[in-house]
Each structure stands twice: as C-alpha cells, then as structure tokens.
Structure 1
C-alpha cells in the first residue's frame, strides 16, 4: 500500500517550486540587457532545465515584459519572502485611494 502525500507535503512541494521559479526570475532580472523575446527564450530554457515544466505563452510573455524592463515578476508572497527579489528599476508611485 502506497502512502498518499499529505496536504502539507503537497503544499511544501508547491512552495518549493514557486521559490525555484522566483529564483530563476530574480537571476534574469539581475543579468539584464535582454530584449523581451530573448528573455522569453532564456526564461523558457531555465524553467525547463530546472524541471518545472512548461508555462502558458501569455504568462511567459507577461513575465518576460517585466524582466526586460528590469522588474521582477513576483510568483507568490511566499516566494518573495524566501528569495532575494530585486527592487524594480521602474519607479511606481505610491498613493492612497480614498
């Protein structure tokens, strides 16, 4: 009889995958100097090389757009907490909406 993974085990695996994906994104942001299409290629290759499977093309395009502009796409709050996400190079105003 095979033991089924617990919900906690599955959550740990998902968080680990998120952190690995965030690290890939962070590294690409720090490398900089690539066009959006070049980032798509590098991102796809790194994700596949790390065994994280494939991502939908719209997701890859959106993340690559941010990376090409020097901004890290944040995968999840957990991934941001456990990795060193670079500060964005694009200034965004901070405002309170009443």
Structure 2
C-alpha cells in the first residue's frame, strides 16, 4: 500500500508542477481552467498527505522526481523546450 500511495503523490505532484511551469512560462496562455486545475491539484495533494502522514518525510524526494514528470508534460503540451527549464 505504501508504494501505491507514494506513486499517487508523485503523479499528482508531476501534474501540478507541469501546470505551474506552463503558467509561469506561458503567461499569455493562462486560462481560468489552469487556475482551477492548479487549485484542485493542490487540494488533492494536501488531502492525500493528511490521509497518509507517513508520506511527509518522502515529500522532498517526491517533488524532485515529479519535477521531471512536470517537464515531460511541458514537452508534450507546449512548444517550450523542457531542457531549458531544467537547468
């Protein structure tokens, strides 16, 4: 069960980080839906951590791993070069 919960946290963080990166690096494309998606993801991550407090020490590692997933999302959904954002 712990492995599944960690994976779920990484997945949610990856999507959140991808949307935050898109929002920061494409301000002209910001939409109302992005704001709602970001807020929803933050809430879901908060609830997930509240329901699984043993994940809190894993959070820094999860963020590091999820950042790459966020960069992959950027590469798939935008004309931005993820390599330039990872430096």
TM class by smaller structure: 0.3 to 0.5
Q: Which structure ranks higher in relative contact order (CA pairs < 8 Å, sequence separation ≥ 6)?
A: 2
Q: TM-score, normalised by structure 1?
A: 0.37
Q: TM-score, normalised by structure 2?
A: 0.40
